């Protein structure tokens, strides 16, 4: 009899589910085939051990020997739109500002983004992208036309921050630019010429204009979005109409020498499978590098009354985490559909807008989408990044909405003051996963029960970096209970615990303020003990933990 062995590659997920003592093994996709060391018997023994263990404890079985899939660094991207105070005040203060700046770009924000190794920045929108005409934002700033930002408050757009300023901002941060082109109100020629302006070193009227504006060599921008939210503010299109329009626009998005484009189609709103399937059927796959997806976590589920960023009870806390964790279901469904049409996984899923969306802070412009950022947001962010890591075979870019002063931002500013939000510190902890190899894991977790509903209390992801260090990020969403997490390794290799960091606070709605900017920040964590080849981590309630081992 042939010995059957389990494939633990990340795109075949095994979920161990427990509910009030009832145990079953739920395979989403199961494939048995020959491997060198891992036998079905080992998996069955592990299953039995899970069944036997107490429901107050989580267990994780790690398989570092089979870390093969790369977690793209682009999963840890950001998004900045001409919206509220993201660009103006947040990134751009002007060359004459008393706030330290480099050619108008505020340096404290630059340094903060450099610290977390932001890999890619999406710009200029968002809904703003489909009313943005790039030629308004180049040349002498004093001669640039002033326009109306009709999407976000009807305020005047001075176009002081345009293509050159954005590219300089990316250079200072050390990130790749990702530009969303105007399909909604623009023309094919306008988009084609913008790409030529950015990416061509050949002689032409367009490239001569760039040189006259101070940039001799092409920037060679790789990522290009062909429209934004074409199902909504980008034109209220049907997927069939957009697919035809994409083919036309993408045909004139040219590759210039040394600057091949990674073209990204405007994909579904949340878990809209019809939109995704239409693009997969109607657009030749060679015309796309990826397809975008947008999903926001609205605490109440009501877009008219989304809930406060800081004034919420446990009921709203639970509903926020539940809606945030729904990202896993969305990615499962969308990836399953993509696998039918693209089994070789050439196409990337690009979650280029995600995050918690609450009501604005009292007394602020409702169109500016300025919201505070609490420990709850950090737990959603950490859980979401764990989900992205686990789906890294398909998710190859993601962009948090947004960077500064808008929605679930990582930075808040007030005049010369700047603070780092709890979400910022999640990205600081998780930067170890960038371009690391995903470690397959099996997770059994107790449940966080609230009323008649429950959620898995612990979520996790793990990776091995280029130095061979193993990093595990753990989240305990239970706001009341510490939970022990037992870690086991398939192979007999001895791992040495190096360090741990913890992000938590006394209350779920705690946040950093300009009066108390450091209330929530990472601290050293060492509640880790070894017993034989197992490790037990005592996860505090409502916490994020990063653990590092080496062989």
| Residues across the chain | 551
Instruction: Name the one residue in this structure whose structure tokens are 């609490």.
Output: 374
Tell me the C-alpha distance between 316 and 318, whole Å. Answer: 5
DSSP SS3 for 354? strand
Distance (Å, rounded) from C-alpha 470 to C-alpha 62?
10
How many CB atoms are closer than 10 A to CB 468? Answer: 10
* β-bridge pairing 105-106 and 101-102: antiparallel
Q: Give residue 37's Cα distance to chain centre.
A: 34
Per-residue tokens: 241: 């109409």
For residues 380 and 356, give the distance between their C-alpha atoms in angstroms, rounded to a whole number: 8
Structure tokens at 188: 């094919």
Query: Cα–Cα distance between 240 and 432 in angstroms, integer?
Result: 41
CA–CA gap between residue 253 and residue 269 (Å, rounded): 24
Q: Round to whole Å and give the CA distance between 411 and 319.
A: 25
Within 10 angstroms of residue 398's Cβ, the number of other Cβ atoms is 28
User: Where in 120-236 does DSSP place strands (E)?
Assistant: 120-123, 147-149, 155-157, 176-181, 223-226
Q: How many CA atoms lie within 13 A of 170 on its CB side?
A: 26
Q: CA nearest 495: which of 470, 473, 517?
A: 470
Catalytic positions, written as ranges: 229, 353
CA distance 165 to 177: 12
- Whose CA is closest to 3, among 46, 34, 29? 34
Residue 191's H or E segment, with its range, is helix 188-199
Helix or strand holding residue 164 (H, E): helix 163-173
Q: 296 has which bridge partners?
A: 355
> How is residue 58 written in tokens?
């989580």
- In Å, the largest CA–CA distance within the chain is 80
- The string of DSSP letters for 374-429 reads BHHHHHHHHHHHHHHHHTTTTEEEEEEE-SBSSSS-SEEEETTEEEE-HHHHHHHH
d(CA 13, CA 441) in angstroms, rounded, equals: 9
Place of tokens 């795109």: 11
d(CA 435, CA 463): 9
Gap between the Cα atoms of 190 and 249, Å rounded = 10
């Amino acid at each position: 009899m042939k010995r059957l062995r389990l494939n633990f590659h990340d795109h075949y997920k095994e979920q161990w589910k427990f509910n009030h003592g009832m145990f079953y093994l739920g395979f989403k996709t199961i494939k048995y085939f020959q491997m060198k060391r891992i036998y079905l018997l080992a998996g069955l023994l592990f299953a039995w051990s899970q069944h036997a263990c107490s429901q107050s404890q989580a267990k994780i079985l790690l398989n570092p020997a089979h870390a093969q899939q790369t977690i793209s660094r682009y999963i840890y991207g950001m998004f900045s739109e001409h919206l509220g105070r993201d660009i103006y005040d947040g990134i751009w203060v002007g060359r004459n500002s008393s706030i330290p700046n480099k050619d108008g770009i505020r340096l404290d924000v630059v340094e903060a983004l450099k610290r977390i190794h932001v890999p890619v920045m999406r710009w200029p929108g968002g809904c703003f992208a489909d009313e943005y005409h790039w030629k308004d934002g180049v040349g002498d700033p004093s001669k640039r036309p002033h326009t109306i930002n009709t999407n976000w408050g009807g305020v005047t757009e001075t176009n002081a921050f345009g293509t050159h300023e954005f590219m300089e901002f990316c250079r200072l941060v050390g990130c790749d630019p990702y530009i969303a082109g105007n399909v909604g109100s623009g023309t094919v020629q306008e988009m084609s010429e913008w790409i030529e302006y950015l990416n061509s070193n050949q002689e032409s009227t367009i490239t001569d204009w760039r040189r006259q504006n101070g940039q001799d060599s092409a920037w060679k921008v790789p990522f290009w979005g062909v429209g934004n939210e074409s199902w909504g503010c980008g034109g209220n299109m049907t997927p069939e109409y957009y697919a035809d329009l994409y083919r036309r626009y993408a045909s004139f998005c040219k590759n210039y020498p040394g600057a091949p484009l990674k073209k990204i189609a405007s994909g579904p709103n949340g878990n809209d499978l019809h939109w995704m399937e239409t693009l997969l059927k109607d657009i030749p796959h060679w015309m796309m590098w990826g397809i975008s997806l947008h999903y926001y976590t609205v605490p109440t589920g009501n877009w008219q009354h989304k809930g406060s960023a800081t004034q919420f009870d446990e009921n709203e806390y639970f509903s926020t985490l539940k809606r945030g964790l729904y990202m896993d279901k969305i990615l499962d469904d969308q990836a399953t559909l993509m696998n039918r049409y693209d089994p070789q996984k050439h196409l990337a899923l690009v979650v280029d807008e995600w995050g918690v969306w609450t009501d604005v802070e009292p007394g602020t412009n409702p169109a500016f989408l300025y919201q505070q950022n609490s420990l709850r947001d950090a737990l959603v962010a950490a859980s979401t990044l764990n989900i992205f890591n686990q789906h890294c075979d398909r998710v190859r870019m993601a962009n948090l909405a947004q960077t500064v002063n808008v929605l679930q931002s990582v930075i808040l500013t007030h005049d010369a003051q700047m603070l780092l939000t709890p979400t910022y510190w999640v990205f600081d902890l998780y930067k170890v996963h960038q371009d690391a190899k995903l470690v397959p894991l099996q997770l059994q977790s107790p449940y966080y029960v609230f009323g008649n509903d429950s959620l898995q209390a612990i979520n996790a992801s793990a990776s091995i970096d280029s130095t061979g260090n193993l990093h595990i990020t753990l989240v305990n969403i239970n706001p009341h209970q510490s939970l022990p997490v037992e870690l086991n390794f398939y192979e007999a290799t001895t791992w040495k615990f190096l360090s741990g960091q913890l992000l938590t606070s006394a209350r779920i709605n705690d946040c950093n303020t300009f009066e108390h900017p450091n209330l929530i920040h990472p601290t050293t964590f060492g509640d880790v003990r070894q017993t034989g080849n197992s490790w037990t981590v005592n996860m505090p309630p409502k916490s994020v933990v990063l653990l590092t081992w080496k062989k």
